[in-house]
Structure 1
Amino acid sequence: MSRFPHLSETFILREMLEMERLGWDVKLFPLMLQQQAVVHDEAKRWIPQAQAQPFISPHVALSSLQRLAKQPLKTGGIVAKTVAESANSPSELVRKLALIPKAITLAKHMQEQQIAHIHCHYATYPAFAAWIINRLTGIPYSFTVHGHDIFVNRAMLPTKARGASAIIAIAEFHREFLVEKLGEWVRDRIHIVHCGIRPERYQPQPKPAGERFEILTTGSLQDYKGHPFLIQACSFLRDRGVNFRCRIIGGGEDKPMLEQLIAEKQLTGMVELLGPQPETAVRELLATADCYVQASIITPAGKMEGVPVSLMEALACELPVVASRMSGIPELVRPGETGYLVPPANAAALADQLLYVRDNPEEAARYAARGRELVQSDFNLVTCVEQLSETLLAVNPALQRPIQRNA
C-alpha cells in the first residue's frame, strides 16, 4: 500500500489480518511508513514488521546500481516506458522516477524472502511498484482498485493492468468503469471481491428515546466526502425547527474550512467535528446515532467514493443510512430495500431525506435490518477474503493452499 499505518484504510488492515488467519504468511511492504497520532490497536503490531525503504539511501543506491549492472536492458526499459507513458504529467513523472529506486530495492528484498505473490491496494503507485518488481523478478502481482486510483489517476493503467495476474474490483461499477476506459479485453482479468467487515463486531444497540435526532458520519475531511453539503443540509434542518445534532468523525486538510462554515451557518453545538477516532470509538459512537449519512460527491477532477466501509459498519449496527447515489454505493445502499439515496451535492434533497427518516422510524428500521442482512451475506470480511484467497490461488500456480489457523 502507499502508506502505513493509515487510519482510514481499515479495509486493508482487516484484509491482512484475515489473510493471516487463513494461513497465509503475510509480509508488509508499504511505500511509506508514516507517523500518526491515532493508530488502530490491530495495526500496532504490524508497524515493527513493515518493510519500508527510504526514497534514497546508500542501500537503495547500491541496490539500484547492482540491478542496473545485472539487468541493464530491463531496468532501462522500465525507465523508458515510465517516461513515455507519464510525460504528459511532469509532476506524475517526477514521483514515478523517484519511486523506481525504492521499487528496485523492494524487489531485492522480496526475492531474498522468496515472496510468491504481491497484492497491492490502489492502481496508482502501489501497482506501479508491483509492475516494476514483476518486470525485474517475475513475481506475479495483483491489485485492488477502489476510487481515485481509477476515477482520477489512470497514468500507465493499461500497462499495469496487462501485467497483473488479476485485478480486484470492489464493486460491479468499478469493473464496468475499467472496461469502458480500457476496453473489453480487461473484463476477464477483473474479479469482484467486496471489502468487508466482521458484522459481529457491529451489533445493533438499543437506543434510549430522546427528542434530539442524532446524525453521524465518518470520513476524512476531504472534498470528495461532501461534508460542506451535509453542513448546509443541517442548516436547512435547523431552519425547519428540527432538534438535531450532527457529528463528523475524521481528520484532514479541510478542517479549517469546515470549522469556518459551521460558524458561518451558526451551527456551533449542532454540528461537531470529532477528529480522527480509532475503530473502537467509532463503534461506540455508532451506537448513539439515529441515522448515518454519507454525503459524498464527485469532484470536478472526477474523484469519488468506491463503496465506503463506513456504510457497512453503520448498516451492521442496523442504523438507517442516507447516502449519495453514485459509484458503487447503490450496490450496498439499495433504495426501498436497505436505505435511502439522494443526488450528490444536493443539500436540499439531503435535508429532505433526513427529515423523512426522522419522521418514518418504522420504515427506516426495516430498511436498516435488511441492510444488516445484506452486510452479513455479501460484505462479510471472512467470506470476502476467502474469495480473494481463492482468486489468488487460481491465477498464481506457484501459490500453495495455506493451512488455516485458528480464528
Structure 2
Amino acid sequence: MLSDAPRTGYVVKVYPRFSETFVVTEILAREAQGEHLEIFSLRPTDDTRFHSELARVTAPVRAIAPPRRVAPLWQVLRDAAADPFLAAAIGRHLGDLVASEASDAIQAIEIARQVRARGITHLHAHFASTATSVARLAARLSGISYSFTAHAKDVFHDSVSADDLDMKLRDAAFAVTVSDFNLRHLRETFPRRDRLHRVYNGLELSRFPFVTRAPGDELRMLSVGRLVEKKGFGVLIDAFDRVREAGIAARLDIVGDGELRDDIAARIARSPHRHGIRLRGPLPQDEVARCLAEADLFVAPCLVGGDGNVDGLPTVLLEAMASGVPCISTAVTGIPEVIRHHETGLLCEPGDVVGLSEAIMAVARPGFDRVGIARRARALVENEFDAARQAARLAALTAEASFATERKVA
C-alpha cells in the first residue's frame, strides 16, 4: 500500500551545532508545513551555547553514538539481526559495509534498524561527508531512498574524494546544493549525475525585520562567522586600519569563535586602532539579530583557504541583507549571486585589503545610496531565500523519492 505521508529522518554529524543555524531553520520550516521529521545525530555536541529557536523544533533527536568497545558494537549487530529483513540486507551489502569506516558502518546499521522500527520512508543528510556516508549505507540496508545537501567544504576541500562523492550522487534519489556556483561545478565534474538541484538555504524572514538606518557620526561595522581562515578576518582588520588612517570614524565588532581566535586576538592587539575593534565571541541568533539592528555596515570578507576550504553562501550575510544592513563581501563561490555590485551590495576580490578598505570608505561617504541598496537586497532575499518556499521544494523532492521507492517495492 502506497503512503502519501513521507516520514523523513535527518542525518547530521552533530546536532545541535551552534554554527549551523541553517539546519534548524530548514527543519522548522518543514515542520511548519506538516512534515514528520526525526533527527539522527552521529556525534554529541560540544557546544555550550544554544540558539533559542531549538526549543521550537518538535522532531525527536536520536543520538547514534559510535561504539567505542566491542560489546556495544555486538549489541547493535544482535539488534539488527533480530529483524530478518535487516539480517539479509547486511549479508547482501557486507562488501559495502566493510569498505566503510567502522563507526560509519555500525551507525548505519543502527539507523537502518530504527528506520524500519519507526516507519521512516526517506533519509536526508546535511554535508556530503560523514553524515551522507552513513545515510547512504542506512538507506541501502533499510530499502528506502536518501538525499543530501552539499555545501562547500564537502565539495571543494582538498580532502574530498571525487570517487566517493560520485558514488553518493549515483546512489542518492536526489542531491541539492546551496548555490548556482556549486550546481555548475557539480554538473561539470559529475556530468552523468542528473538528479542535482539548487535549493538555497532559507531564512525565517519574520525574524529579520527590515530597518532603515540613518547615517550617524561613526560607521558601525559588523562581521560574524567562525574564526577560521576562509572567513578572512585578518584581511578585514587590515582594511579597518586603512579606513581609520584615512580619517573615517568607524568601529568594528567581530562575532564568533574558532581555531584562530588567539591569532585574531593577537592581530587586533597589534593594530594601532585596536580600541575601535571588539572581538565579542560567539553569540546566539537573537543576540546576532540585535547586533544587526545596531549596525550600519556588514562585512563578510570571505576567501579561499590554503586547503581549498571556502564558504558556500554565509547565512548571516543573508540575515544582514534581510535586516536592511548594507553589505560588502567577496567574489567567492555563490556570494556574487546575492551581492550584486552596486545593486544589492558591494563586491570585492577575496584577500584584497585595498579593495575592501575602499569599499568600506565608499559606504561611509555621504552620497552613498545605503537605503536603495538595502531595499534591493531585502527584495532579493524575500524572492529567493524564503525558508517556507525552500522547505516546500525539499518536501516535493522527498515525496517524489519516497513514492518512487514504494512503487519499486510494491
Q: 1:395 to 1:255 in 2, by over 3 A?
A: same
Aligned residues: 385
Unaligned runs of 5+ in 2: 1-11, 82-86
Structure 1 match to 2:211: 205
Conserved 8 A contact 2:97-2:137: no
| 2:142 corresponds to which of 133, 137, 145 | 137
1:73-112 superposed matches below 5 A:
73-82=91-100, 96-112=101-117
* Structure 2 residue aligned with 1:63: 76
Distance 1:103 1:25 in 2: 21
- d(CA) in 2 for partners of 1:47, 1:249: 29
SS at match of 2:254: strand
The one of 184, 200, 205 aligned to 1:176: 184
Moved more, 333-342 or 141-150: 333-342
Shift of 1:364: 2.9
- Of 44, 49, 52 in structure 2, the residue corresponding to residue 38 of structure 1 is 49
Cross-structure match for 2:129: 124
- The partner residue of 1:185 within 185, 192, 199 is 192
Matches within 5 A, 1:320-335: 320-335=326-341
| Aligned equivalent of 1:378 | 384
Q: In 1, distance between residues paired with 2:219 and 2:205?
A: 25
Does 2:173 align with 1:165?
yes
- Give the TM-score taking structure 1 as reference length: 0.90
> Contact conserved, 2:181 with 2:333, CA < 8 A, in 1?
yes
Counterpart in the other structure of 2:3: none
Question: Could you say if the C-alpha distance between residues 285 and 361 of structure 1 is closer, same or farther in structure 2, counting changes exceeding 3 Å?
Answer: farther
Identity of aligned residues (%): 28
Provide Cα deviations, 1:259-279, integer angstroms capped at 9, x if missing partner: 000011233221111111111
Per the TM alignment, residue 49 of structure 1 is displaced from its structure 2 partner at its CA by 3.0
- For structure 1, the 5+ residue unaligned runs are 83-95, 401-407
Question: Structure 1 residues 141, 361: closer, same or farther in 2, change over 3 A?
Answer: farther
Amino acid of the structure 2 residue aligned with 1:100 = A
Q: Is the 8 A contact 1:60 1:105 kept in 2?
A: no
Contact kept in structure 2, 1:393 and 1:399, CA below 8 Å? no
What per-residue deviation string (whole Å, max 9, x for no partner) do you get for residues 347-393 of structure 1? 11100100011115542321111000000111111111111111212
Q: Which amino acid aligns with 1:52?
A: A
Q: Residues 42 and 66 of structure 2 are in contact (CA less than 8 Å); yes or no, is this contact kept in structure 1? A: no
Question: Are 2:243 and 1:230 equivalent residues in the alignment?
Answer: no
Asked whether the 8 Å contact 2:89–2:142 carries over to 1, the reply is no
Higher mean displacement: 266-275 or 53-62:
53-62
Contact kept in structure 2, 1:61 and 1:101, CA below 8 Å = no
Deviation at 1:333? 0.9
Q: Deviation of residue 398 (structure 1)? A: 6.0
CA shift digits 1:250-292 (9 cap, x unpaired): 1111110000000112332211111111111111110111111
State the alpha-carbon separation in 2 of the partners of residues 276 and 163 from structure 1: 38
The RMSD of aligned alpha carbons is 2.0
1:199 CA drift (Å): 2.1
Structure 2 CA distance for aligned equivalents of residues 374 and 173 of structure 1: 17
Q: Which amino acid aligns with 1:185?
A: R
Residue 105 of structure 1 deviates from its aligned partner by: 1.2
Describe the superposition over 1:288-313 as per-residue Cα deviations: whole angstroms up to 9, x where unpaired: 11111010110121111111111111
Instruction: Output the CA distance in 2 between the equivalents of 1:309 and 1:253.
Output: 20
